[in-house]
Amino acid sequence: MTDDVDALRVEDLSISYGTAPPSVSGVSLRVRKGEIVGVIGESGSGKSSIALAMMGLLPDSARVTAGRMTVAGAEMQDATERDWEQVRGVKASMVFQEPMAALNPCMRIGAQIAEVLQIHGKTDKRRARARALEILQLVQMPDAEKRLSYYPHQLSGGQRQRVVIAIAVAAGPDLLVADEPTTALDVTVQAQILELIKSLRDETGMGVLFISHDLGVIGQLCERVAVMYRGRVVESGSARRVLEDPRHPYTRALLESIPRPSVPVRSPLAVIPALNDFTEAPAELEEAS
């Protein structure tokens, strides 16, 4: 893991497809080492596109431009696929929201973790299984040694997500990009995965870019947050300030749309107004010091 550099720094990021208007425009984000930064917004706001762009995983049809894009000290704004291959899995890794789709159903868990270690030169074939066990224990997998020989379908959803996280952190990345990693999990398992991400951050010092549509999760996990609306960051700052004192009307609408137990049962739910209702400029953005 490299020292004295940001895990992620991107300035003026735009993503477009063909002649259509940009799906992401003018986005700037910073994730320091040891920091968890959340990106939140409704579906279609551009969150996952940003996550994929930070890993060089957007399709060839996407046009990505940025004034600056630095991943763990590597300048990536004009990177080729070969350049990204030197970064993915080593300096930056990604956790997807559906673990079953991210794992090879025909390979045992231990072999999938060991494969990552060998590909990135972190260990030889002889030591790979032992190191895979250590990493599975790091992500707090129950009965880890036994589960090395399991296939993905033999694990629960929460256990599969632990395996995906184990693969992501195996090579000691500076940046972990987590794209809604708790969406498919029940509330109890979701809390366990969030605590796991926190503990891994504390133990390894990696930075985390956490993508979510869940304000509760963001408030529980993140130090800072950026609010996305129609491909732009409309508000950012400390998670506590943004969630307790929102300054942009979209952020306020997002918070007001959360159902509350104190509201009478038959009261109408608050909804976010039509897209055209948010026309004012972004709230003043807080830059990380």
pLDDT tens string 45-55: 999 999 999 99
Q: How far apart are the C-alpha atoms of 32 and 261, rounded to whole Å?
A: 36
Same domain, 181 and 289: yes
Three-class DSSP category at 188? helix
Residue 208 located in a structural domain: yes
44 and 183 part of one domain: yes
Decide if 194 is inside a domain: no
| Co-location of 144 and 241 in the same domain | no
Q: Are both 156 and 233 inside the same structural domain? A: no
Closest CA to 35 of 165, 242, 206: 206
**6 shares its domain with 82:** yes
- 115 and 157 in a common domain: yes
Residues 79, 212, single domain; the answer is yes
Over residues 106-150, the pLDDT tens digits come to 999 999 999 998 888 777 888 888 999 999 999 999 999 999 999
176-199 residue pLDDT tens = 999 998 887 888 888 999 999 999
Closest CA to 172 of 142, 143, 131, 144: 131
Task: Return the exposure string of 7-18: e unless at least 16 CB atoms fall within 10 Å of the residue's CB, then b.
Answer: bbbbeebbbbee
Token pair of 182 as six digits = 């708790």
Structural domain of residue 87, as residue ranges? 1-91+176-188+203-289
Q: What is the pTM of this model?
A: 0.89
What span, in angstroms and rounded, lies between the C-alpha atoms of 229 and 47?
A: 9
